[in-house]
Structure 1
């Protein structure tokens, strides 16, 4: 009873915050999708990191770490380092280009970066966004269902419906501003929940010495690198780390994350936004990795069931009911903070990049959002997929499609529309071939070749951009 009560109170607070944002809504497309580019740095940073973390962190990463052990630390190190490298030269220039082009979607800003329209590229990009963003949203909604299953033992489809309904309520009310406001509250809940579980988990095993002793008792659990590397020895280790570094760099190809930085009130505040983002991200990821490893000691037999249930099941093992509700709310916060971002980004791709401009009315903006949420819900309840695998698939494909072109633009290179289309198709094809054709994705993140191949192609086909042709300099 106390679990359900604390869980319900926290979720009600999220929805109330999102609905309150409607008071600032103007109804314009720029306000609905970019909050009129008026968001302060702290909210941008917290919203971006909450969107990035998602149910993937609470469900997917915890499950991956449960099975992998200490070697999962490279996922954290590579991811954050790759993310940081990309942010040093891309985020601010993307924000400037968004203001100069006065566009409301990620694809449109890239299409008009150098003053051209790139209509064919923009249409193809929008289709890819809709497909993979909605699939990604489906994974988030499914993560909410798994959380309820782990705590209450009920049908995971009920949790999926709950996530979809709450996201629908405040997304329709306030657009991206509602998403950002709730993200900030959700990021605090996520951090508190993970900290409480980490501290309680260590205390329940007799302190740090007891924890380390338990880990040593699990064969290979404290090995620094996994056994199934793509190459033996140092070369395989290097590719393993490099793969996760590219996974972090892939953030720049995620429309739902990058749109947060496009909402910043002033590009000169980007350093402050990044400070909020990386401070939170580093601390939270470290806690998540620690909790994932602790869960192996509390739930040694979970591998035969579903390792992605490790966090909610562990919470019931070590916490009183009221705090179990907090953990469950933290998981739901993570899923909702990303799900709303994904459906809004896919909605923008439909109404702004695919449909005729005359259809871009307030009603159509909300209708497209509602349809995207509905499709994500259908995907979430249709099949019991691994959240970790589905997120990585969507993440790598989006990154392979957009990160190479954005990286070229950020270093002041330009390409023709045909070259941009070739880069996009090549990136997506290589990533999908790596996963489904060669089956090497378990040994090396498919986003590495998916980004590297079209990037090299783009370098060969590009030319230096003049200050006159750059939208960001306008």
Structure 2
């Protein structure tokens, strides 16, 4: 039976999100404000919104479900993600913030074009197409998570649940743009952190401590260590690398990189980095613990049901009022990623297609209207994909995450750290990385190694070889690179 307390908690939370969107609606007056918030984010909002948009519904549903089925082996995903997060904040954030302002660019696609002075616009258009394809897949994963959440909590039809979640997310993204997305993500990130600490703490106590949980895992032949499987057999180096390779994806995620572009100043980044790393360390550790705790609590969850262990645990361990708040945290994780993806996809269509190709003279008012319409179009496509309840959250996220990492990761790194790279090198690497990833996935080789690895390596090697034999010689581009390094030290 549905608890009225839980319904009220959800209702108040959803109204709050819509209020934030409405608050920023009349305060967003130009396209830079809609896409990057006028580059005015502080360190706390930048950090929590970046990590909340990164750690989507898969943090509280997909990752615990994977640990529930596979044991501690799956914790290598979390380790790889933490390393990738740290490297991204430490090495990429400051250079990208400075370089995008220097090149006067608002999107990752326009940055690629202006950074390498691509005369054909192929870099900009090609990267925009990749963004639209993989973000549609990524957004659908979030709607699947929303559907499973509403279906479990309110016992409503899966289709109705998915549509309900989509309407709320689209509404505040449509209204408030980047600032609405970042501020809602800030509050959602705080709520997610609270939930990921409280739930495993109560779960450990409920199960009699860590040792009792490990004993149950051993009895069921589920891995309790990082380096062996449930039968005690050592994991291969290839298996560990494949699982940790999730961390490679960070360098190419447009919705995370957009936060680096939008921060008020490079001087804010050290504080933002510290906040982000503490948040992600606690969150990933908590998600792994939830998966472990669920093993002695629930038997035989498969076929996507394993991704609901966090929901089941909340219902079992907490009263309806507290449970409603904790379940809202799952909704926060889902929404904080989809809203960012919708905004980046909308930005790609508006800035990189509409303004670049169709209406170069379009006014800010016209561009904001087009951006909002694009949010609706992309949402409708993602929604149609999400209506298949057999899709798993982690499976959809893995493909989209790998796609961005393989297509954009090396291009971003070469753009920020190499003087030698040309637009031809960047375009070739992007195409090769994407094709290798798709081939690897469609050929069924993902079971042997996560497709991001061959895609990333192929992209990197393609760019390295072309740069070696055909390096950048344009003096203006080389001078701009030196300007970036000078501004970084200023």
Task: Give the alignment's TM-score, normalised by structure 1.
Answer: 0.93
SS of residue matched to 1:113: helix
Measure how far apart 1:135 and its partner are. Answer: 1.4
Q: Structure 1 281/172 Cα, relative in aligned 2: closer, same or farther at 3 Å?
A: same
What pairs with 1:302-321 in structure 2 (closer than 5 Å)?
302-303=301-302, 306-321=305-320
Q: Structure 1 161/89 Cα, relative in aligned 2: closer, same or farther at 3 Å?
A: same
- Contact between 2:222 and 2:229, CA under 8 Å: does it hold in 1? no
- Contact between 1:126 and 1:353, CA under 8 Å: does it hold in 2? yes
CA deviations 1:352-381 (Å, max 9, x no partner) are 112223455221111111211222212111
Measure how far apart 1:161 and its partner are. Answer: 1.5
Rounded to whole Å, the distance in 2 between the matches of 1:220 and 1:295 is: 12
Q: Which runs of 5+ in 2 are unaligned?
A: none
Counterpart of 1:452 in structure 2 is 457
- Contact between 1:14 and 1:186, CA under 8 Å: does it hold in 2? no
Measure how far apart 1:318 and its partner are. Answer: 1.9
Rounded to whole Å, the distance in 1 between the matches of 2:35 and 2:148 is: 30
Rounded to whole Å, the distance in 1 between the matches of 2:212 and 2:62 is: 26
CA deviations 1:276-297 (Å, max 9, x no partner) are 1111001011001100111121
Q: Structure 1 322/155 Cα, relative in aligned 2: closer, same or farther at 3 Å?
A: same
SS of residue matched to 1:444: coil
Measure how far apart 1:316 and its partner are. Answer: 1.4
Structure 2 residue 452 is matched with structure 1 residue 441: no
Structure 2 residue 19 is matched with structure 1 residue 20: no
Measure how far apart 1:51 and its partner are. Answer: 0.5
Of the three residues 465, 468, 473, the one matched with 2:479 is 468
Measure how far apart 1:274 and its partner are. Answer: 1.3
Counterpart of 1:162 in structure 2 is 164
Rounded to whole Å, the distance in 2 between the matches of 1:121 and 1:317 is: 51
Structure 2 residue 47 is matched with structure 1 residue 42: no
SS of residue matched to 1:300: coil
Rounded to whole Å, the distance in 1 between the matches of 2:119 and 2:319 is: 57
Measure how far apart 1:191 and its partner are. Answer: 1.3
Counterpart of 2:215 in structure 1 is 213
Structure 2 residue 423 is matched with structure 1 residue 417: yes
Counterpart of 1:338 in structure 2 is 337
Measure how far apart 1:130 and its partner are. Answer: 0.6
SS of residue matched to 2:64: helix
Counterpart of 1:280 in structure 2 is 279
SS of residue matched to 1:24: coil
Of the three residues 365, 368, 371, the one matched with 1:362 is 368
Q: Structure 1 358/143 Cα, relative in aligned 2: closer, same or farther at 3 Å?
A: farther
Q: Which runs of 5+ in 1 are unaligned?
A: none
Task: Give the alignment's TM-score, normalised by structure 2.
Answer: 0.90
